Structure 1
């Protein structure tokens, strides 16, 4: 039996209930558990399983160890007509990220654009969860987060930047948003952990062992390589720096290479002080709503009707594959790996 056959499929409603219950049992407040569950199910729904329900065990351990604050008192401060800062008080990051995006949207309704920095936060999962919320409110949403060192510099032999994701969503009239959600590393490290659970080999050029040598063995992968691989990794490393500046330097969060590591966070009850940076843009305050809707529709029509090298696989816009997967999983259920099945009490 192959490792992939160990995946079992469950309806979203059941997984949502089990995830929420696990978080509350571990000490999370109901509102924080709800936000975390919503973010995890977003990822699982669209097929980003590395950042989906499988992360519940990680957050449960952090709640129980004190690596995150189970009773945070976040404080938002408006610092200007279009800017604000949110102190997440060391709590689960999902509530903080949703709050930051909501505040950015509110600022954008007044000023046309809103930007909110977050500090004293933690790992926020799939960045796309938060920008989709902005798009559903008619705004272009952009969010990024720094994290502890897990990715080498271009040509570097040790980790320096975090995986430092960037996500953006743009509303489209009458259809699901255009959605980009990428790490600035070759892959997210949670995908390494998923491959470990499933017994799969990694793609080439994405990870390295302790000695800095490339490896495809998920078990021996110690850190990641930047987006672009061995030849063009300078691009990913530069994008990781962009995220560090906006989400770390600008917000007052810890810088990637000196941030408390994930292992220390779990075992020593130290908190990471992760930073996020959320931006909301109101299209109506630039080109105008009607013109924006027309231009986005034209852009996506041109994109999707472009020639494809494979007639069976048409060209897709960012997000198309994920929204297709969400429709499929609404019928088939969401796949869950064996480790997470046990954590959720499904087996």
Structure 2
């Protein structure tokens, strides 16, 4: 039987998350920033990183004392084109928006820039920050490390985070090009989504200690925490599907997110101390921006980028396939659809949102309360 879905508008869900963050003592402006990043995921149809993570990732970690409600950002080092920020274990969204704002400003003046962040936390949808640059007519690149999930090629131990390497740039179309994906075959958030809807995982996403596939999402999630399961790198386990490529890119992101700012790495990012007690994750992020106008006429770049996308979509399709997509297109289509229908909220997410509202006495009435 199909689960009943309720639909809430973008504005209402953003308003509730803002109020929820404020209710747990996050300063108002920071609450607005975090809610805006989270809702962008739902707007783009990426249900793994939006309202579904509001409670289990952010509210719960604040309650556990491993995520600070106030995001105090210190500039540790700075040049005309670079900067290193310390987020002091605050909200990753807040620190990352600030970092990308700095990177954009520096690139506007000097052509290119790079900003790194240390002692941060989960920063939500990586594409949000690349979009910030694309909206300014620039190329935006970002990446972050994360708690161990990916096994190296020929290994079974979760060592690397899902470590997205995300790139965005403007085109002359109605939407920018945004490639926002993990360097694993899938990411933990999507497995959480499958668990919420009770759906079995595809073969090739998760392996156990013997290298065998795990398709039960609950077993996979528990195994990822216990270290008895690991995500396959992009391309799959072993070399048959060229999984060494995903493994290599995940390692690049790990280095740029840790060695570049002297932060913890790999299994130091479990969020647990030697006694198994929860501690801040101390994640690292990096943000790179290129001002297109500093190299070539931006309008010409956008036109040629658009031509490339249109040519790709017009190429010969596989039998039975109706269309070819380019990066950012499906998300744009999801945005157009959800602008009309609202965000689909399943039972598990409804329960988590309601729990936050009731616990913190947030004055808000959901559509499912009517």
Q: Please give the TM-score of this superposition, normalised by the length of structure 1.
A: 0.94
What does 1:229-240 align with in structure 2 at a 5 Å threshold?
229-230=236-237, 231=240, 232-240=242-250
- Count residues with an aligned counterpart: 343
Q: Which moved more, 1:240-249 or 1:20-29?
A: 20-29
What is the aligned partner in structure 1 of residue 363 from structure 2? none
Q: Deviations over 1:270-311 (max 9, x none)?
A: 111100000111111112223313322322222222222257
What is the aligned partner in structure 1 of residue 83 from structure 2? 84
| Counterpart-to-counterpart distance in 2, 1:311 and 1:210 | 38
| Counterpart-to-counterpart distance in 2, 1:25 and 1:136 | 32
Structure 1: runs of 5+ lacking an equivalent: none
Residues 117 and 286, structure 2, Cα contact 8 Å, conserved in 1? yes
Residue number among 329, 335, 344 corresponding to 2:338 in the alignment = 329
What is the Cα-based RMSD across aligned positions, in Å?
Answer: 1.9
What is the aligned partner in structure 1 of residue 306 from structure 2? 297
Deviation at 1:212, TM superposition (A): 4.3
Residues 28 and 63, structure 1, Cα contact 8 Å, conserved in 2? no
Q: Please give the TM-score of this superposition, normalised by the length of structure 2.
A: 0.88
Residue 322 (structure 2) pairs with residue 313 (structure 1): yes
What is the aligned partner in structure 2 of residue 93 from structure 1? 92
| Counterpart-to-counterpart distance in 2, 1:303 and 1:263 | 46
Q: Deviations over 1:15-57 (max 9, x none)?
A: 1111112222122121221111111111111111011110101
Residues 47 and 322, structure 1, Cα contact 8 Å, conserved in 2? yes
Q: Deviations over 1:121-166 (max 9, x none)?
A: 0111210011111111111111000112111111111101000011
Deviation at 1:225, TM superposition (A): 1.2
Deviation at 1:313, TM superposition (A): 2.2
Residues 77 and 85, structure 1, Cα contact 8 Å, conserved in 2? yes
| Counterpart-to-counterpart distance in 2, 1:64 and 1:134 | 33
What is the aligned partner in structure 2 of residue 271 from structure 1? 280
| Counterpart-to-counterpart distance in 1, 2:262 and 2:314 | 45
Residue 230 (structure 2) pairs with residue 226 (structure 1): no
Q: Which moved more, 1:201-210 or 1:310-319?
A: 310-319
What is the aligned partner in structure 2 of residue 246 from structure 1? 256
What does 1:163-202 align with in structure 2 at a 5 Å threshold?
163-202=162-201
Residues 200 and 216, structure 2, Cα contact 8 Å, conserved in 1? yes
